[in-house]
Amino acid sequence: MSRSPDSSNDVDVDVVVVGAGFAGLSAAERLVSLGRTVRVLEGRDRVGGRSLSGEVAGVKVDFGATWVSPRHTAVRSLAERVGCTTTEQFAEGKNVLWMSGRRRTYGNTIPKVSPAALLDMARIQAALNTLVDSIDVEAAWSSPRARELDSVSFGEWLDKKHALSATRALMAIVSKVQWGSPPGDVSMLHALRYIRAAGGVDHMLDVEGGQQQHRYVETTQEIALRVAERLGSDVVLGRPVDRITQHQDGVSVSSVSETIRASYAIVTTAPSHRAAIEFDPPLPERMEGLSRTWRLGNLSKAFVAYDTPFWRHDGCSGEAVTDTGAVFITFDVSPKASGPGILMAFCDPRVFDALDARTRHDRVIDQLVDLFGERARNPIDYVDHCWSAESFAPGGPNPAVAPYATTTYGPALTETHGRVHWAGTETAGEWAGCMNGAVLTGQRAAERVAALLPQKSPVEAVR
């Protein structure tokens, strides 16, 4: 792994990979294993994409992508190969619900509110499950009723179903965690595609047996760092790509101080970030439309550390959901029972990101006091991260795609543009929206491009 060199340089490789997130690194790793030469260009000064490590009270934490399911076999295999280990997400004890100014506790995934609200949540979840089962996970835009479902937002669908306020509040939390946006900003078809890709409503929401079952002790960015370390100088940081030109027999990928000639390019950036790259020949309208309409949502996180996870002594899991304020959901990410105790809080960027650092801190602490009592008033450390404030390729975790954009532009997600191929979690069918999907798409693109390259002679294969 190397930093951007100062001098201009032209490099010939088999494949240029744009982006050093999980998709880009997985593509490069697979190509190298197939005996192909690669160069990975990353605009940031780090690898990992939407995975980023932070630190609170001396403990490494995930500012971005965090959890893996037992079913996420691709990313788990990658992590095992580089020596990263999982730990169970702590979920023992009572969860906390703060709704309409009242604090309650509950067990399982769904909060225990009024009997009427419980029935309503069951009704809405059953309706969601029925629609999810009808979605073609590889081509949601070809599913039955695709245009109808894409013409309304998730929020409008909840309106049409006459969902009660408690149900709407919980669905808003799901939407903000999954797409970094409220339900009214997300197409119903897009929401269903991601729920189906995640293995269904239960798998998407559950800790035990679900997508939140495990975290990585070393953090998820550490996986990317170790893969990049193996790739060595094939990964170049601080090198935003500004132009990709196609020729009859290859491509030229240009950045600030280097033009790389290759047979093919694999672009792994999120669709909205492709707008920063000039393509020659230009992208077709449907591909261009992806960059305009598949914008990333925004999500922020805060980590608050205490001497011990005191909430466990009160019989609480550390998981809480709330319908008001900056914080809307919390989890216990303490490294061990003896401490330090660490709460991870998801924060709504609309009421969080514009605040100064001290005010953000105070807002989070005040809400944790409401949720877990006065002992939350005195943390030993605090840190937060706002993805909307990233200077390069901001936003996350997933695209918040508005009505009509999935059926109009979705088919272009995986269509090649001459010698330019696409990867990235957005282009996945199953597991779209998570690290597992990113790894699978990187490997898939690498194998497709490798099959198009001329076969090496026995002498070249040995070299």
Lowest average pLDDT, out of 103-107, 215-219, 403-407, goes to: 103-107
Assess whether pLDDT exceeds 80 at residue 11.
no
Q: Determine the average pLDDT of the residues in 409-419.
A: 97
Which residues make Cβ contacts (< 8 Å) with residue 126, sequence separation at least 6? Answer: none
Share of the chain above pLDDT 90, in %: 91
Residues 270-312 have pLDDT tens digits of: 999 999 999 999 999 999 999 999 999 999 999 999 999 999 9
Degrees to nearest 5, angle at CA 398 with 394 and 404: 110
**What was the pLDDT predicted at 6?**
45
pLDDT digits (tens, 9 = 90+) for 352-405: 999 999 999 999 999 999 999 999 999 999 999 999 999 999 999 999 999 999
Give residue 457's pLDDT: 53
Q: Is the pLDDT of residue 5 over 70?
A: no
Residue 460: predicted pLDDT: 53
Rounded CA-CA distance 261/433 in Å is: 31
CA dist., res. 275 & res. 251, Å (int): 18
Split at pLDDT 50, 70, 90, the class of 7 is very low
Which H/E stretch holds residue 38?
Answer: strand 38-41
Edge-to-edge strands of the sheet including 341-347? 102-106, 94-99, 316-322, 327-332, 341-347, 300-306, 381-386
pLDDT band for 172, please (50, 70, 90 cuts).
very high
- The confidence band for 100, taking pLDDT boundaries of 50, 70 and 90, is confident
Q: Can you read off the two tokens belonging to residue 211?
A: 């997508």
Measured CA to CA, the distance from residue 333 to residue 322 in angstroms comes to 18
What share of the chain has pLDDT > 70, as a percent?
95
CB of 397 closer than 8 Å to CB of 336:
no
Distance CA 92, CA 318 (A): 9
- Crossing angle of helices 115-133/188-197, nearest 10°? 80
Cα–Cα distance, 412 to 422 (Å, whole number): 10
The neighbour count for residue 16, using CB atoms within 10 Å, is 26
Beta-bridge mates of residue 345: 302, 330
Q: Is the pLDDT of residue 462 over 50?
A: no
Q: How confident is the model at residue 200 (pLDDT cuts 50, 70, 90)?
A: very high
Mean pLDDT of 62-70: 98
User: Can you give the pLDDT at residue 8?
Assistant: 46
Residues pairing with 135 in the sheet = none
pLDDT tens digits for 109-149?
Answer: 666 667 888 899 999 999 999 999 999 999 999 999 999 99
Query: What is the rounded average pLDDT of the residues 60-73?
Result: 98
Cis peptide before 458 (omega within 30 of 0): no
